[in-house]
Amino acid sequence: MLILGIVGGEKSLDEGAATLWLNEYNHLASSVYNERVQASWNYYTNLTDHNQHLMVKAELVFSRFEQEAYRNASIFDWKKMNNETIKRLMKTISYMRLPEEEVKQTENLRNRITQVYSTAEVCGDGTDRCLLLEPDLQNKFAESKDWDELSRLWKGWRDETGRKMKSDYEAFVKLQNKAAKLNGFDDNGHRWRAKYETEDFPQLCEKLWNQVSPLYVQLHAYVKRQLKKTYADNIDGFPDGGHIPAHLLGNMWGQTWDNIFDLVVPFPDKQTVDVTSALQQQKYNATAIFRLSEDFFESLGLDPMPEAFWEHSMITRPTDREVVCHASAWDFYNQNDFRIKMCTEVTQESLLTVHHEMGHVHYFIMYKDQPVMFRRGANSGFHEALGDLISMSVVTPKHLQLIGLLEESPEDNETELNFLMKRALERLSFLPFGYLIDQWRWSVFSGETDIDSYNRKWWELRCKYQGISPPVSRSESDFDPGAKFHIPNNTPYIRYFISSVLQYQFQRELCNISGHTGPLHRCDIYGSKEAGTKLRNMLMLGQSKPWPDALEQLTGQREMDATAIIDYFRPLMEWLKEQNAGHDLSWEEECPHGSFTSGSNSLISTMFSLLLPVIYIVLL
C-alpha cells in the first residue's frame, strides 16, 4: 500500500516530493498491474467459475490500490506544477474508483456477459452438432451462398448472445457512467473520448469519414450489384432503399467483406493473391506463422520476442477447456512477459492477424522502460495501427514471393485491380463499421439512447453509414450490439477507425523513408532499417507525449489525415467509377420499412389477431 507521509494542510507544490511519490507508485503499480493481468489471463484462457472469482478478487485489489493512489495524488497541487511529465503522470493516476461493492458488481456483470458471448453456440440445423463462432460459424459465413442458411445462422448467433445479456448490459452501463461522473465527466463516453486529448474529437472523426466515404460509396454500389446477380433467386430480399442485407457479406457482422471476393472479383481469369493453400501445402503451423511475423519485425531492426513470449502465449485453441478465442495481445507490466492469446488457423487471414497482434507486442517492448502509466499507445488507434501497418507490406505480392508463399509477383493492371479489390473488401469496407460502434455507445452512455431503443439506434447507424440492413425483422427484444465481442467486453472501438486512418498515413511516410518508388499499394518496407529506426523512435514514447507529438515524430504531421487511403486505392477508385457510371450510388439513410417490429411477441400478436374471427366462429 502507498504511504506518502503528507497529510493535512494545503496542497503541496513540491515537485521533488511528487517525483519521489511517483517513483514509489510506479514500483508498486508494476506488481499490482501484473497480478491483475495475470488473473484476467487465467480466466480468459480457462473459463471457470474459480478463475472468474480470482479475477474479480484481483480487480478489487487493483481498485483499492487505485483509490489509495488517487488520495495520495490529490495531496499535490500538480496542475500548478511546471514539470510537464509530473503533470501528465498525475493526471493519469488521478482517477477515482467506485466503492468496492460496485466495483465487484461491475466486474461480475462484465464477466457474465462476456461468458455469454464466448460460450455461445448455434444449434438446430438438423444435426446433433452445435456451431461455435470460431471456426464453425466463421467458416459458414465465409463459404456458404445459401440465403436461408446464412439468415438462420445470422439470427441464431444474435439469439444466443445479445438477447441473453441486454438487461445486464443496461446495469453495466449505469455503473460505468457512475464511475465516470465521480471523476467529472458527463458520462462514460465523455471519459473515453477525453483519452484522445482532442476537444473536438467527434468532429475530427466525422472529418476523416468524409474524406474516405466517396470511395466507400463506390465500393458499396459495385458490391451490391454483384450480390444481386449471385442471389437473383432472392432478389426480393434486397430492400428498395438500396441497402445490402447484412448476412450476405461473408462475415457474421458485415464488418469486412473479403470472403465474398470470388463474387465481386474484377477479373476472374487473373491471379488472385491468397496464400492459404500455400501455407497449408508447405505444412505451416501456428508457431511457424508466428516465427514468420517475428522475422519481419527483426528485419526492421526491432527486437526478437523474449523467451517468455514463446513459453506462455496461447496460440492455438486448447482441447481441454473453454477459452475466449478472440485474438488479443497482453502486457504483464514486468518488462519481460508479453503474450498473445489466439486460436490460430493456417490461413492468410490468420497470417495477417498474427502480424497485427505481434505489432501490439512490439509496441509493449518498445515502451517497457516508460513509467507504468505511460506504457500505452500514444492513443489507442496508434496501437491498432502498428500491426496493420506491417500487414500492408506482408500482403503485397512482392513480399509473399520473397517469403516463398507466392511463385511470382505479377504487376499487370488487371491483377493489381484484383489485389486492390481484395484489400478494399478487407479494409475499406470496415471503415463505417469501425466508426459507428462507438457512436452507438456514446449515445447509450449519454442517455440519448435508452434500453427501449438500443436495437433501433444500432440499426439506424448501420443503415445510415454502412448501407446495410438486417435480413430478418428485429425488435427491441433483440440486442444485436451484444453479438459483437467488443460490446460485452467493453472495449472502446473508435480506436479501430482511427487506426485504419493512421496505418495508411504511417505507411505513406515509411515508404518514402525506405526509398520506395511507385504506387503506394506496392510498397514493402521489409528490411528497411531506416523505416525501423523511425518507427522505433515513435514507439518508445508510449503515451509520455500527446499523440500529435508522436504522430509528428513519425510522419512530420500533427493532424490525422485520411488522404493516404485514397492514394493507396486510387487505381481501384478510378475503375469503380467506370463500372458504376450510370448507376444509382446512394442508399436511404433510414432502415427499410419492416426492419423493426414492436416487440418479440409481434408475430404471435399478428397471428392471434388474424385467428380471432376463426376462434370466434368456433366458440359460437
- Residue at 229: amino acid letter: K
Of 107, 115, 2, the residue nearest 59 (C-alpha):
107
Domain assignment present for residue 564? The answer is no
Q: What is the pLDDT of residues 19-40, one digit of tens each?
A: 999 999 999 999 999 999 999 9
Give the three cell numbers for residue 619. 366458440
Rounded Cα–Cα distance for residues 470 and 578 (Å): 30
What are the residue ranges of helices labelled H in 45-165? 49-73, 84-93, 100-118, 138-143, 147-160
Is 486 known to be catalytic? yes
Binding residues: 196, 356, 360, 384, 495
Q: Which of 357, 416, 426, 509 is catalytic?
A: 357
> Mean per-residue pLDDT for 564-592?
96
Does a cis peptide bond (omega within 30 degrees of 0) precede residue 135?
yes
Domain assignment present for residue 184? The answer is no
Assess contact for 504 and 565: CB atoms under 8 A. yes
Please tell me the predicted confidence (pLDDT) of residue 461.
98
Rounded Cα–Cα distance for residues 535 and 409 (Å): 27
Return the bridge partners of 567, or none: none
Instruction: Tell me the CA distances in angstroms from 49 to 54, 55, 256, one per residue in order.
Output: 9, 10, 34
Assess contact for 591 and 460: CB atoms under 8 A. yes
Domain assignment present for residue 300? The answer is no
pLDDT band at 3 (very low <50, low <70, confident <90, very high): very low
Helices (H) and strands (E) counted in the chain, each on its own, are 25, 6
pLDDT at 170 exceeding the cut of 50: yes
Assess contact for 497 and 205: CB atoms under 8 A. yes
Rounded Cα–Cα distance for residues 259 and 271 (Å): 16
Give the three cell numbers for residue 12. 503541496
Return the bridge partners of 244, or none: 468
Query: Is the pTM higher than 0.85?
Result: yes
Q: How many domains does the chain have?
A: 1
> Mean per-residue pLDDT for 207-218?
97
The full 3-state SS of 136-148, as one line of letters, equals HHHHHHHHCCCHH
- Residue at 105: amino acid letter: Q
> Mean per-residue pLDDT for 205-227?
98
Rounded Cα–Cα distance for residues 115 and 44 (Å): 9
Domain assignment present for residue 490? The answer is no
Domain assignment present for residue 371? The answer is no
Q: Which of 206, 486, 588, 590 is catalytic?
A: 486
pLDDT band at 359 (very low <50, low <70, confident <90, very high): very high
Domain assignment present for residue 54? The answer is yes
| 335: Cβ contacts below 8 Å, ≥ 6 apart | 30, 368, 369
Q: What is the pLDDT of residues 593-615, one digit of tens each?
A: 888 886 543 333 333 333 333 32
Assess contact for 144 and 262: CB atoms under 8 A. no
Instruction: Tell me the CA distances in angstroms from 266 to 38, 213, 218, 256, 575, one per residue in order.
Output: 48, 21, 14, 18, 9
Please tell me the predicted confidence (pLDDT) of residue 68.
92
Domain assignment present for residue 283? The answer is no
Please tell me the predicted confidence (pLDDT) of residue 617.
30
3-state class percentages of the chain: helix first, strand second, coil last, to nearest 5: 60, 5, 35
Q: What is the pLDDT of residues 389-413, one digit of tens each?
A: 999 999 999 999 999 999 888 778 9
Q: How far is CA 263 from the centre of its chain?
A: 26
Domain assignment present for residue 4? The answer is yes
pLDDT band at 9 (very low <50, low <70, confident <90, very high): low
Q: What is the pLDDT of residues 307-339, one digit of tens each?
A: 999 999 999 999 999 999 989 999 999 999 999
E strand or H helix that includes residue 534: helix 529-539
Instruction: Tell me the CA distances in angstroms from 308 to 190, 361, 514, one per residue in order.
Output: 38, 12, 32
Q: Where are the beta strands (DSSP E) in 433-564?
A: 468-469
Return the bridge partners of 468, or none: 244
Assess contact for 161 and 117: CB atoms under 8 A. yes
Rounded Cα–Cα distance for residues 323 and 343 (Å): 9
Q: Count the residues in the chain.
A: 620
Helix (H, G, I), strand (E, B) or coil at 323: coil
Residue 35 is part of which domain span? 1-97
Is 357 known to be catalytic? yes
Rg of the chain, C-alpha, whole Å: 25
pLDDT band at 12 (very low <50, low <70, confident <90, very high): very high
Rounded Cα–Cα distance for residues 132 and 193 (Å): 34
Binding residues for chloride: 196, 495
Does a cis peptide bond (omega within 30 degrees of 0) precede residue 371?
no
- Residue 255, φ and ψ in degrees, nearest 5: -90, -30
